[in-house]
Amino acid sequence: MGHCCSWPGNRSRRTNSSPIFASLSGGRDLPKPPATAPSPFGLADPDLGRAWLTEAGFTDIDHRSVTGTFELGTDADDAFAFAGRLSVVQGLISDLDTDAKAAALAALHHATREHETEDGVVFRSATWFITARRP
């Protein structure tokens, strides 16, 4: 079995360290996803993930940190249009009032412009690559 899981080592990093999440915070402390929630962050804690997989009968469990980049779009406008349609973005701004929502989206657009390169809009990324064997 192989699985990739967001943000190795510290599931709370999602809250404001990512330029995308920071831009959408609207001055709020964003909620941390529950450690046991089914989400991209659900296996981010290696000890918890190992326990779950062991309980499910898996062996030879390994968490390997992988870092790299991801391209969000071909240019800032393309990346902003794509990101604006993501359910996580819509969810993070859904409870903001009109002015705060506009400010958060403007900050997101600014973040895409700050990460625009000749190769597109590029952000740093990290994940766990988790492997396990079921005998």
* Structural domain contains residue 134: no
Instruction: End-to-end CA distance of the chain: give it in Å, rounded.
Output: 11
135 within domain boundaries = no
Look at residue 6 in the predicted model and tell me its pLDDT.
52
**Residue 64 included in any domain:** yes
Low-confidence ranges of the chain (pLDDT < 70): 1-17, 33, 35, 37-41
82 in any annotated domain: yes
Number of structural domains the chain divides into = 1
Assigned token pair, 20:
């995308």
Residue 94 inside a domain? The answer is yes
The answer to whether residue 100 is domain-embedded is yes
Q: Is residue 133 part of a domain?
A: no
Q: What CA–CA distances, in Å, run from 94 to 1, 39, 43, 45, 78? A: 36, 19, 26, 28, 22
Which domain covers residue 20, as residue numbers? 2-27+37-127
Distance from C-alpha of 23 to C-alpha of 76, rounded to nearest angstrom: 14
pTM of the model: 0.72
Q: Provide the pLDDT for residue 5.
A: 53
Backbone angles phi, psi at 69, to 5 degrees: -130, 160
